[in-house]
């Protein structure tokens, strides 16, 4: 077991830690590292490009393979163009959905307030874009100088740490979550096992979800669906003719929706 942990760790150290899932492993770099150790082809990391595919082939003593292509042009270091996300802050409604979607906690803000992205931390993984209900997040080219090897290793270590802290926080929130989940649940078992044998990573504890909470979730989801239907109906009616009573009712329902969605 220890030898496989140490191989997975060596493979993981070469992966960018963007946690984007573009390799086909939704939960990020570590599950892909594990799968490579078990025999999967090592050329699927899109942000890593050819340099990562080659480094992995070298580590594993396998034949070099052409890396999966990216939609972005190739930079001078052979990797795809680094990108950053930016929020059009004047359009943000402060729903907080992007916060739990960001694997490296690069977004700050709180309920009903405008959100902003800490561009130094953003990896351009794009995971915050689909959950945004008003589509106010753009991707732009990262114009900063490319990191050298040492800076890249430090950046990857930091992103890995941030992701493990994010997983632990999401795991705790999930155990008493109300309302819908914006990102599929992370399969935390592998991370918990890995983090507990390595001192440098935040240790991840698995949390048993109480049965009661599952029931509450189902009830809350039904409640949310009902409120959304009522809101849509009222918005339609108010679009045709203004009515003070209905306007008030709409505001109350929107308030209720916000409260139920808070986690």
Q: Which residues bind ligand SF4 (CB under 6 A)?
A: 15-16, 18-23, 25, 28-29, 32, 45-48, 85, 87, 92-98, 101-102, 104, 106-107, 109, 115, 117, 122-128, 131-132, 134, 136-137
Nearer to ligand SF4, 139 or 207 (CB): 139
Cα 69 from chain centre: 21
* Token digits of residue 220: 């809350």
Tally of CA atoms within 13 A in the half-sphere of 182 that contains its CB: 21
Query: Residue 137 CB, nearest distance to ligand SF4 (Å)?
Result: 5
Query: Residue 72 CB, nearest distance to ligand SF4 (Å)?
Result: 13
- Rounded CA-CA distance 78/68 in Å is 13
Q: Are residues 24 and 108 in contact, defined by beta-carbon separation less than 8 angstroms?
A: no
Residues facing 140 on adjacent strands: 84
Radius of gyration of the chain (CA): 21
Query: How far are the Cα atoms of 111, 132, 183 from residue 136, in angstroms, in the given order?
Result: 16, 7, 18
* Token digits of residue 215: 């029931």
Query: Residue 125 CB, nearest distance to ligand SF4 (Å)?
Result: 4
Nearer to ligand SF4, 113 or 215 (CB): 113
Nearer to ligand SF4, 101 or 253 (CB): 101
Query: Residue 175 CB, nearest distance to ligand SF4 (Å)?
Result: 23
Query: How far are the Cα atoms of 16, 21, 77, 156 from residue 42, in angstroms, in the given order?
Result: 13, 14, 19, 18
3-state SS, residue 46: coil
Q: Are residues 147 and 120 in contact, defined by beta-carbon separation less than 8 angstroms?
A: no
Nearer to ligand SF4, 8 or 15 (CB): 15
Q: How many CB atoms within 10 Å of residue 180?
A: 15
Nearer to ligand SF4, 105 or 249 (CB): 105
Query: Residue 165 CB, nearest distance to ligand SF4 (Å)?
Result: 14
Query: Residue 13 CB, nearest distance to ligand SF4 (Å)?
Result: 12
Nearer to ligand SF4, 87 or 234 (CB): 87
Query: Residue 109 CB, nearest distance to ligand SF4 (Å)?
Result: 6
Nearer to ligand SF4, 135 or 205 (CB): 135
Query: How far are the Cα atoms of 104, 105, 180, 215 from residue 158, in angstroms, in the given order?
Result: 9, 11, 29, 37
């Amino acid at each position: 077991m220890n030898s496989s942990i140490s191989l997975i760790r060596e493979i993981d150290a070469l992966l960018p830690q963007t946690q984007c899932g573009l390799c086909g492993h939704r939960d990020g770099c570590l599950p892909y590292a594990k799968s490579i150790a078990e025999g999967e082809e090592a050329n699927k990391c899109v942000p890593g490009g050819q340099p990562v595919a080659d480094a992995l082939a070298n580590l594993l003593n396998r034949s070099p393979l052409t890396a999966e292509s990216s939609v972005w042009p190739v930079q001078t270091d052979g990797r795809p163009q680094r990108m950053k996300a930016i929020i059009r802050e004047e359009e943000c409604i402060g729903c907080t959905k992007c916060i739990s979607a960001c694997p490296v906690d690069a977004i700050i803000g709180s309920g009903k307030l405008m959100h902003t992205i800490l561009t130094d931390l953003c990896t351009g993984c794009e995971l915050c874009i689909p959950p945004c209900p008003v589509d106010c997040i753009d991707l732009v080219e990262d114009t900063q100088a490319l990191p050298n090897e040492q800076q890249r290793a430090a950046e990857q270590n930091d992103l890995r740490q941030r992701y493990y802290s994010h997983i632990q926080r999401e795991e705790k929130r999930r155990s008493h979550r109300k309302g819908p989940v914006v990102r599929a649940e992370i399969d935390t078992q592998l991370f918990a096992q890995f983090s507990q044998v390595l001192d440098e990573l935040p240790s991840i504890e698995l949390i048993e979800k109480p049965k009661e909470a599952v029931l509450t979730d189902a009830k809350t989801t039904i409640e949310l669906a009902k409120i959304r239907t009522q809101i849509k109906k009222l918005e339609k009616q108010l679009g045709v003719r203004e009515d003070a009573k209905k306007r008030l009712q709409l505001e109350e329902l929107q308030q209720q929706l916000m409260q139920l969605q808070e986690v």
